[in-house]
Amino acid sequence: MRSADTVAELVRRQWGDHRTGLRDEHHTLTHHQVAAGAAARAALLVDLMPPVPRGEPHLGILLDNTPEYPLWLSAAALAGAAVAGINPTRRGPELARDILHTECRVLVTQRAHLPLLDGLALPGLRILVTDTEAYRELLAPYGNARPGDATLGPVRPDSRFLLSFTSGSTGAPKAALCSQGRLAAAGASLVAHFSVGRDDVHYVCMPMFHGNAVIADWAPALAAGAGVALRARFSASRFLPDVRRFGATYFTYVGRAVQYLLATPPGPDDRAHPLRLGFGTEAGAVDAARFRERFGVPLVEGYGSSEGGAAIQRTPDTPTGAIGRAAPGDDLAVVAADTGVECAPARFSPTGRLLNAAEAVGELVNRGRSPFEGYWRNPEAEAARLRGGWYWTGDLFYRDADGFLYFAGRTDDRLRVDGENLAAAMIENILARWDRAAGVAVYAIPDPVTGDQVMAALTLREGADFEPAAFAGFLATQPDLGTKMAPRFVRVLPELPLTATNKIHRVALRRTSFRCPDPVWWRPAPDAPYEPLTRAALDALRAHYTRHGRPEAYG
């Protein structure tokens, strides 16, 4: 079967297919029922929001991962509307800003999220509440609709389809645009790369308002005619029971979700399931190896974003720790952010330590034709991405002599310690080897004089304690831990703070620094043993920052 040009075409292909297509804890729908439900919602949508003078009208979805989410995605594709995924962890003016900024004319939500909208000024917005009798009555007259019966205008490959918000941890979230053609192509590419078939079942446990779940999980299932199983919100304890219940074979993840799964109590039947593959980002080589050893499932690290500006493809010969090479047709380079000059190839010690990080680590850019389709109503952010005719990813990488690319963190996660540039992700991968660590985050805090110091936040495995001598001993035995990499401050906390997409919220960690309610251990001097950070030590640190003219860096 030829690849589809649009998401709408993929939805139409489900018509007449009576295999199981969509499930959650409470519902089971065939592919045909999904197409019929999407057609009914598309007809309702056309009646609720007539065409706009230019472009596609916008529908907001403020839902957990219920069957209504993929049904409304499919409906929008058929109708020729665009979907803005609204983040339910946003509050008050920030939530209103997201809805108003994307000019949503209809918002689909559920009763549990109605309190989030209380008191918000949302003029002209029509709100549909899916788990109500009024909604069912509103939808009932459209029950005989067929895919394609009702559209708001021509549906083409370049029709705007998704407005996916970035995390917004350092400012107002940007809404990245994705067309029907790009999403259909992304789905087809993953189908080919992972040999997804009609008998596969994709377990969608990451939030569907984010590109991870829609682009990397739902779209390839739709492209292959595979089944979709939903979990309303990610649950580590329900993961394996869900996989077994739904017969799931594929799932997507972010690194912190993998750590949560590894923190669940081991069982004798951990490998008794049909899962064959996990695809995601930022799991780290150590956690990926632990996951495969325990559950028998390989985790394939990918690279991409809602913006779609650059893609890295993993091949069978990809070395441990690398993401892969540039996808065919992409001209990817690692360059110095200030000059644009290409960085030197990475050199490694026999133990795998990166020997020339200062020369090799830089920002990943796409110097060729980029599929980036822009941000909604944000020309400044677009210009920042497309500088000098290149697409700048905002991510740090290094590249070996064979062209394999290694992720080194976000540009915001770079540290400069004693004049040496370090990448947080590289240090995290080392600290994750400590057998007492369940979760690790590394981030920069200001040095009293200049540059940064390394701080780490740790969560511990069940029953483990933080013993400073044991931690220092572990650090001393790591052959690839550079002399500037050892954390000066270590915060031990019950859980790492997360963003709405289950990524570690480093902004929150940097903001609180070592002035936090959790136990913090520190080294008063580089070679000193770790000791508790006491009130007296905090006072001395404050005085040190002040003496060197950086009291604001202390906070």
Torsion angle, CA of 266/267/269/271, rounded to 10 degrees? 10
Longest dimension (CA), the chain: 76
Cα 84 to Cα 334: distance, rounded to the nearest angstrom: 32
Q: Which two tokens stand for residue 41?
A: 């919602």
> According to the model, what pLDDT value does residue 169 have?
43
Is the CB of residue 133 less than 8 Å from the CB of residue 85?
Answer: no
| DSSP string of 267-309, one letter each residue | -TTTT-S---EEEEE---HHHHHHHHHHH---EEE-B--TT--
CA distance 208 to 205: 8
Q: What is the pLDDT of residue 552?
A: 66
Q: Are 186 and 308 in contact (CB under 8 A)?
A: yes
Domains of the chain (ranges plus CATH)?
Answer: 7-233 (3.40.50.12780), 325-413 (2.30.38.10), 420-554 (3.30.300.30)
3-state SS of the chain: helix, strand, coil percent to 5? Answer: 30, 25, 45
Per-residue b/e over 223-233, b at no fewer than 16 CB within 10 Å?
bbbbbbbbbbe
- pLDDT at 171 (0 to 100): 59
Of the candidates 341, 262, 331, 253, the one whose C-alpha atom is nearest the C-alpha of residue 294 is 262
Per the CB < 8 A criterion, the answer to whether 414 and 396 are in contact is yes
The 10 Å Cβ neighbour count of residue 241 is 11
- Taking the C-alpha atoms of residue 10 and residue 22, their distance in angstroms, rounded to an integer, is 15
φ/ψ (deg, to 5) at 456: -125, 140
* 427, 485 Cβ separation under 8 angstroms: yes
Q: What is the amino acid identity at position 8?
A: A
As a whole number of angstroms, the distance between CA 12 and CA 15 comes to: 6
- Single-letter amino acid code for the residue at 356: N
- Nearest in space to 251 (alpha carbons), one of 304, 200, 305, 198: 200
pLDDT in the model for residue 167: 59
In angstroms, the CA 164 to CA 133 distance is 30
Nearest to 238 by CA among 287, 229, 217, 210: 229
pLDDT digit string (tens) for the chain, length 555 residues: 678 999 999 999 999 999 999 999 999 999 999 999 999 999 999 999 877 777 899 999 999 999 999 999 999 999 999 999 999 988 888 899 999 999 999 999 999 999 999 999 999 999 999 999 999 999 999 999 999 999 999 999 999 999 999 854 445 789 999 999 999 999 999 999 999 999 999 999 999 998 889 999 999 999 999 999 999 999 999 999 999 999 999 999 987 789 889 989 999 999 999 999 999 987 877 888 999 999 999 999 888 767 888 888 888 899 988 899 987 778 999 999 889 999 999 999 887 778 888 899 899 999 998 889 999 999 999 999 999 999 999 888 999 999 999 988 777 777 878 767 777 888 998 999 999 999 999 999 888 877 789 999 999 999 999 999 999 999 999 888 888 889 999 999 999 998 877 788 888 898 889 999 999 999 998 889 999 999 999 999 888 888 867 676 676
Q: Specify the DSSP class assigned to residue 112.
A: G
Segment holding 547, helix H or strand E: helix 535-547
Round to whole Å and give the CA distance between 173 and 165. 6
SS3 525: coil
Provide the pLDDT for residue 305.
67
d(CA 82, CA 75): 10
Q: How many CA atoms does the CB half-sphere of 375 hold within 13 Å?
A: 18
CA–CA gap between residue 405 and residue 512 (Å, rounded): 33
